[in-house]
Chains A and B, each alone.
Chain A
């Protein structure tokens, strides 16, 4: 782990944000590697994020998001920071997660905070698409369905549909959501951290199960190598560029559904472009909580998230699962 000062030194050299054009021709200033070849992950925390009644303080969520993004980009002004992240004149998708129902879905306060900053950075409201598998999942996040392109759009794959032809990588053959393939130029991934009965942990990479028609077909072997294979599909790999992971509340056991008795509040956001490093960091957060409450490790429970290592292997090369090879900043 590095101090913020060390990290900003790297950022100040211009090495953190290279401003490179990606394969899709986006003008996004994102690049997941620093000068020394390391990717980076920011974990931003605010212990006072929830009040005594376990309600989120929306202003603190906005402030936490700004803190995370400022640390990540090395830009203190939120608008400047966001301009480094999103391309101008493109459609930005926000892939949220509402699968677990009302109690354990991407928090509305975070989604709204991201929308606010995107618009301040020059993204037109109609060029923002908040999306999930279906209306019910979006409503679980507290969202209202809207297809009117004069405002921020919000609808599911149940409205836009899936491509007719499957795409294949490794073990997976899936039909992708048209919102991903046809509407979004870039996607910001907004998963929520959860324990997962099959995969061990669900966060950044696993959230892509919501962009395919039949995710239930990708569950074999603890979702390994399916999660890694899925994220290697070019459209996903290239468009889903950035994760703002919601670890403000989470379930450390019994997931991915809502189990209030196993809910806890890490009060954190986990931010990064390296989806493997983000997931590795999230996994460790879950393991620490499980140890704290006397639960066995996920390995001992028979469901280690092996897909994370698979995603880092030479075949997939999606990022790094070695803490020595990415910058972890906890602020």
Chain B
């Protein structure tokens, strides 16, 4: 009887440990990847984060949504930023079903003039944008102007997002 109850207690503890581990995982997955204002030097978060489920993605990027859906997008979050009160940018975080989906989008969108950047699992950069993937996440940061300090500023913001994924 005693042996049986010890076994039960151990089983309960094991389940509790599993649940606890799973919850930590959940918590990590749902963490906010968007840096707050001031978290990155010069950058201010100027808009609320908006999130779209896969079925609603057309409301954000009608016409572009299909390629993400085909690659297994689960949800998309977006927020606007401003650098030194002048340079406007948008950060999009696409959460795909798996890393393969993120890789597919990154590779399909790459052009010859892309420069490789060390971010996450793989990343590319242009004068006004940075795109990288990390696990099932694909991040696209786009600035709306080309300024001399835009590439460095975008890289700093991208690194902050990457650290939060």
Contacts and interface: CB of A to CB of B under 8 A. Distances in A.
Contact of B111 (A99, A216, A257, A261): A261
B67 A197 contact: yes
Given A197-B66, A216-B65, A102 B144 contact: yes
Contact of B64 (A54, A102, A256, A261): A256
A198 B144 contact: no
B37 interface: no
A202 B63 CA distance: 10
Contacts of A257: 61, 63-64
Contacts of A253: 111
A253 B112 CA distance: 13
Interface in A181-235: 196-199, 202, 209, 215-216, 219
A19 interface: no
Nearest to A214: B58
Interface in A46-92: 54
Interface of B: 58, 61-67, 88, 90, 109, 111, 113-114, 126-129, 142-146
Contacts of B113: 261
Contact of B142 (A99, A103, A255): A103
Nearest to B58: A216
Q: Is the interface of B mostly helix, strand, loop or mixed?
A: loop
A306 interface: no
B146 A198 contact: no
A261 B63 contact: no
Contacts of B127: 260-261
A261 B129 contact: yes
A260 B128 contact: yes
A255 B129 CA distance: 15
A255 to B, nearest CB: 7
A196 B142 CA distance: 19
Interface of A: 54, 99, 101-103, 196-199, 202, 209, 215-216, 219, 253-262
Nearest to B113: A261
A254 B140 CA distance: 14
Contacts of B88: 102
A261 B128 contact: yes
Nearest to B109: A254
B62 A215 contact: yes
B4 to A, nearest CB: 58
A259 B64 CA distance: 12
B63 A255 contact: yes
Contacts of B90: 101-102
Contacts of B114: 261
Given A254-B109, A257-B61, A219 B66 contact: yes
20 contacts: A99-B63, A102-B90, A102-B144, A103-B142, A197-B63, A197-B66, A198-B66, A202-B63, A215-B62, A216-B58, A216-B62, A216-B65, A219-B66, A253-B111, A257-B61, A260-B129, A260-B143, A260-B144, A261-B126, A261-B127
A256 B60 CA distance: 12
A30 to B, nearest CB: 29
Q: Which 7 A-B pairs have the closest CB atoms?
A: A216-B58, A260-B128, A261-B126, A256-B63, A257-B64, A102-B144, A103-B144
Contacts of B65: 216
Contacts of A54: 145-146
Contacts of A261: 111, 113-114, 126-129
Given A103-B144, A196-B63, A255-B63, 10 more contacts: A99-B62, A198-B63, A253-B111, A256-B62, A257-B63, A257-B64, A259-B142, A260-B142, A261-B128, A261-B129
A199 B111 CA distance: 21
A103 B140 CA distance: 15
Nearest to A134: B59
A154 to B, nearest CB: 20
Contacts of A256: 62-64
Contacts of A215: 58, 62
A209 B111 contact: no
B147 to A, nearest CB: 9
Nearest to A55: B145
A69 B132 CA distance: 45
Nearest to A54: B146
Contacts of A209: 62
Contacts of A196: 63
Nearest to A294: B112
A260 B146 contact: yes
